[in-house]
Structure 1
Amino acid sequence: METNIREVEHVLKAPAPHMVGDGFRVHNFFPSGYEIDMSPFFLMDYGSKIEFSARKEPRGVGIHPHRGFETVTIAYHGAVAHHDSAGNSGIIYPGDVQWMTAASGILHKEYHEEAYSLAGGAFQMVQLWVNLPAKDKMSKPKYQAIKQADMSKYILPNDGGHIEIIAGNYNDVKGTASTFTPIELYNARLNQGAKISFNFNSKFNTGFMMIEGSIKINDSVIANQDTFTHFKNKGEHIEIEALENSVVLILSGEPIHEPIVQYGPFLMNTDEEINQAISDYNQGKFGYIEE
């Protein structure tokens, strides 16, 4: 048995949900749901599977600003359209990822894609806020639209399924997204009985979001759908076995050891920078986007 096992700290149940706008029912696992350190991941909103009724006027979130971090939206069911003040727009369908670097400041809006809204149906998403180091917080905004068809993949042996490497590197397969700090972000799509292992730097904050199914971790701990497994910062080796067909979002990243000041949609290092962000927003320096 591997001696450098990374032990589980907690298997956390989904906190009570709340609505973001009228289109996103989410469980905030951190920072408000549980006080766990997942830096560089500052926030995780998990939209567990829900059925939305058909509607002509798409649900969503209206125009709002961001500064100082990145939003990463991962779609499992449903479809979301995006527009921002840097001129980017796109639609993410199941399996797709939208990686928006707000950095120095951006306005954007997110809402249910028109055809999905008209038909209704299952909806399930994850949104992460990924903090940026101080030196990059005021860099130029950018947008990475990552389609599942274009995503880097590692095929597991014995029909075990596959790993989609959104960012980082798994078994020498490099992820699709570019990042500012070392981040490992994968979707593990596992068939029942599949056994796989991961090795993450013990200093990296690591967690598994169970999107679907159930797994056994290190031959001992069971994690079921809609739970988040938070690992101790000790040891590097994690083994999992899929107890049924499962989808697991894998997060691991090098923490950013800098002060954080959050004010709503702004994530900076000092109060002065927050005040500047508010002033810049009020002066229209985040650009313009149509309603």
Structure 2
Amino acid sequence: MKLKSIEKIIKPGTPHFVGDGFRVHNFIPGSSTMKRMDPFIMMDYNSKYNFPPTNTPKGVGVHPHRGFETVTIAYKGRIEHNDSAGGGGVIGEGDVQWMTAASGVLHKEFHETAWSKKGGEFQMVQLWVNLPAKDKMSMPKYQAIANADIKKVLLPDNAGIVEVIAGEFQGEKGPAHTFSPISMFNLKLKKGAKTSLSFPSHYTTSLVMIEGNSMINENAEVFEDHFALFKSDGDTVTIEATTDCIILVLSGEPLNEPIAAHGPFVMNTQQELIEAFEDYNTGKFGSLN
């Protein structure tokens, strides 16, 4: 066992709005390049924010995607969404929306209508996961992952639980299908609890402190709403909760392929980007009202 060194800890920067419904801090690529974070190429974190009641749901209108997957994890609040491939629904607290844009979809997402009328605390993560070149032009698909379907592993001594969204932990596999090896866990620890996680040394590994504070590798405290990135120099991360906490843990094998990105399209070459814009402008992504 060798500890993964911490490369850096990033505090949340100045937030900005995506549409009018998502007040986010950008951690990827804001804190590191897409190449460094491969296969995780974008992360917007909506820290806890209170939205007042409204009869007009806030969110983001119709927009395109191609070449990657969007993963939305809801911690507080409720989100409605639809795409031009027929995917959609509502994700509530603890649920996950995993949309494979692949060859191209139109998408929109808003606060759920009923939730909007009451308002309240809203918190979420949206992550973009890159697709291998061979899968970028595959058919779009959608995975609605309810919290009840997420595997939950109890830690010894009543220390807490690990919710396995993707990948495997102690023999329990998460429900998400992925195109490359990825682990995605919600780690929920009680104050004073200790645990360790292991991932291959060359995997890109990071965490977001969703709630509370924790001591990482016995020498670095990571505070609420902060992001920590690990070097590819070891295989183990130790965590001790200094308060009750919730931690989003990400680890994935880099694709090590060229990245050509512009706006909502992430491909491998500039020519593929040009084709993506042409296909979008000529209606090949379908329609969505």
Using structure 1 for the length normalisation, give the TM-score.
0.97
Q: How far apart, in 2, do the equivalents of 1:35 and 1:17 lie?
A: 19
C-alpha distance 236-33 of structure 1, shift in aligned 2 (>3 A): closer
Q: How far apart, in 2, do the equivalents of 1:176 and 1:88 lie?
A: 17
1:102 maps to what in 2?
101
Give yes or no for the alignment of 1:64 onto 2:63: yes
> The residue matched to 1:281 in structure 2 has which SS?
helix
1:243 maps to what in 2?
242
1:83 maps to what in 2?
82
Q: How far apart, in 2, do the equivalents of 1:219 and 1:237 lie?
A: 12
**Shift, 1:32, TM fit:** 2.7
> The residue matched to 1:29 in structure 2 has which SS?
strand
Contact 2:183 2:250 in 1 (8 A): yes
Q: Which amino acid aligns with 1:132?
A: L
Taking the TM superposition and a 5 Å limit, the aligned residue runs for 1:124-273 are 124-273=123-272
Q: Which amino acid aligns with 2:191?
A: Q
**Counterpart selection for 2:11 from 2, 10, 13:** 13
**Shift, 1:33, TM fit:** 4.0
Q: How far apart, in 1, do the equivalents of 2:154 and 2:86 lie?
A: 36
> The residue matched to 2:239 in structure 1 has which SS?
strand
Taking the TM superposition and a 5 Å limit, the aligned residue runs for 1:28-47 are 28-35=26-33, 37-47=36-46
**Shift, 1:240, TM fit:** 0.5
Give yes or no for the alignment of 1:55 onto 2:54: yes
**Shift, 1:150, TM fit:** 1.1
Q: Which amino acid aligns with 1:93?
A: G
The size of the alignment, in residue pairs, is 288
Q: How far apart, in 1, do the equivalents of 2:40 and 2:232 lie?
A: 15
Relative to structure 2, which stretch is displaced further, 102-111 or 185-194?
Answer: 185-194
Give yes or no for the alignment of 1:112 onto 2:131: no
Residue-by-residue CA offset, 1:35-57 (whole Å, 9 max, x unaligned):
47211000010001000000000
> The residue matched to 1:158 in structure 2 has which SS?
helix
Contact 2:212 2:246 in 1 (8 A): yes
Q: How far apart, in 1, do the equivalents of 2:216 and 2:30 lie?
A: 26
Contact 1:181 1:254 in 2 (8 A): yes
Relative to structure 2, which stretch is displaced further, 269-278 or 155-164?
Answer: 155-164
Contact 1:15 1:33 in 2 (8 A): no
**Shift, 1:249, TM fit:** 0.2
Q: Which amino acid aligns with 1:101?
A: T
Q: How far apart, in 1, do the equivalents of 2:227 and 2:156 lie?
A: 26
Residue-by-residue CA offset, 1:104-141 (whole Å, 9 max, x unaligned):
00001000001110000000000000000100000000
1:285 maps to what in 2?
284
Residue-by-residue CA offset, 1:222-267 (whole Å, 9 max, x unaligned):
0010100110110111111111110000000001111111111000
Unaligned runs of 5+ in 1: none
Q: Which amino acid aligns with 1:56?
A: N
Between the two proteins, what is the percent identity of the paired residues? 55
> The residue matched to 1:124 in structure 2 has which SS?
strand
Unaligned runs of 5+ in 2: none
> The residue matched to 1:203 in structure 2 has which SS?
coil
Q: How far apart, in 2, do the equivalents of 1:68 and 1:31 lie?
A: 17
Q: How far apart, in 1, do the equivalents of 2:33 and 2:48 lie?
A: 24
**Shift, 1:34, TM fit:** 3.8
Residue-by-residue CA offset, 1:4-59 (whole Å, 9 max, x unaligned):
11111111111211110000011001113444721100001000100000000000
Contact 2:19 2:60 in 1 (8 A): yes
Q: How far apart, in 2, do the equivalents of 1:16 and 1:170 lie?
A: 35
Q: How far apart, in 2, do the equivalents of 1:10 and 1:32 lie?
A: 13
Q: How far apart, in 2, do the equivalents of 1:282 and 1:149 lie?
A: 40
